[in-house]
């Protein structure tokens, strides 16, 4: 019965393609926690919102803890090791930008950021704070839960990959899919789980133009025309971290890993 509710839930939230939905649903349901409750840390200073989110997530089978300011978020994350963080941007003291930055520097964790304004998202991504997804208030709890499941599923899928792709070397850039680590020349570059998936997806077909829609479906696991801005935003953060020339924009079509970079498959 729960299965049917969740299926309807996902259907309404995303206009995901049917084959994709069939592929992700069982795992998404598993991620909801039959034998394991994923730990979600909610960071929100408005008590009624924090409480509402926590109550809904607990009802959906997550283990939830909530804190109400940025420093408490960092302390709790270090102690509790959450599998995902729902993080409000506007917090007293240490704001959401800084909390996200410090969380990612310490130990990358999927972060779903809550913003007050729609136009704030581009600004946030421009700052390169490393969130994996963004939602504008007010949002539906149903959509929040669906997006959390998609993010958790992606991380789980990446961890459980049986056959890791070989290392990819793109001029000074080395991508190790097995450990999900990236180096630019000798320096390791810390990418968020989403940034890594996007880079890995582009690097698998260097020089090939991938549409925003196909990147959205492949990396985020859903197809939604309005979501293509999320792709643009994450391309921006990749460029910021790895160099402006790495990803080429093909106007009106999509993105390609720049062919000027000679690509070799490592052994």
Binding region for Ca ion (CB under 5 A): 45, 88, 90
Nearer to Ca ion, 90 or 141 (CB): 90
The distance of closest approach from Cβ of residue 45 to Ca ion in the complex, given in angstroms and rounded to an integer, is 5
Residue closer to Ca ion by CB (options 90, 209) is 90
CB 260 within 8 A of CB 172: no
Min dist. Cβ of residue 39 to Ca ion (A): 22
User: To the nearest whole angstrom, how small is the minimum distance from the Cβ of residue 89 to Ca ion?
Assistant: 7
Nearer to Ca ion, 32 or 124 (CB): 124
CB of 44 to Ca ion, least distance (A): 6
Indicate the residue among 88 and 258 with the shorter CB distance to Ca ion. 88
Beta carbon of residue 167, minimum distance to Ca ion (angstroms, whole number): 42
Output 131 or 247, the one with its CB closest to Ca ion.
131
> From the CB of 188, what's the least distance to Ca ion, in Å?
33
Cβ(61)–Cβ(37) below 8 Å:
yes
- For Ca ion, the closer of residues 133 and 258 by Cβ is 133
Q: Beta strands 111-115 and 168-170: pairing type?
A: unpaired
């Amino acid at each position: 019965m729960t299965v049917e509710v969740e299926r309807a839930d996902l259907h309404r939230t995303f206009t995901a393609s049917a084959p994709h939905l069939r592929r992700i649903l069982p795992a998404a349901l598993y991620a909801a926690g039959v034998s394991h409750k994923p730990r979600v840390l909610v960071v929100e200073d408005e008590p009624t919102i924090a409480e509402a989110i926590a109550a809904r997530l607990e009802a959906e089978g997550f283990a939830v803890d909530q804190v109400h300011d940025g420093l408490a978020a960092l302390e709790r994350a270090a102690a509790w090791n959450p599998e995902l963080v729902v993080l409000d941007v506007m917090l007293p003291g240490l704001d959401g930008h800084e909390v996200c930055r410090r969380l990612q520097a310490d130990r990358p964790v999927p972060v779903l950021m809550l913003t007050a304004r729609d136009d704030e998202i581009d600004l946030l991504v421009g700052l390169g704070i490393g969130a994996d997804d963004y939602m504008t208030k007010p949002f539906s709890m149903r959509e929040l839960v669906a997006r959390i499941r998609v993010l958790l599923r992606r991380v789980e899928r990446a961890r459980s990959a049986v056959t890791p792709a070989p290392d990819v070397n793109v001029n000074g850039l080395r991508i190790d899919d097995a450990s999900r680590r990236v180096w630019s020349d000798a320096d390791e570059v810390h990418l968020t789980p989403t940034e890594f998936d996007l880079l890995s997806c582009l690097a698998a077909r260097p020089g090939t133009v991938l549409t925003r829609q196909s990147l959205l479906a492949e990396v985020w696991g859903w197809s939604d025309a309005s979501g293509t801005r999320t792709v643009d935003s994450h391309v921006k953060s990749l460029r910021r971290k790895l160099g402006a020339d790495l990803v080429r924009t093909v106007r009106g079509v999509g993105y390609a890993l720049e062919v000027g970079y000679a690509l070799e498959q490592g052994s």
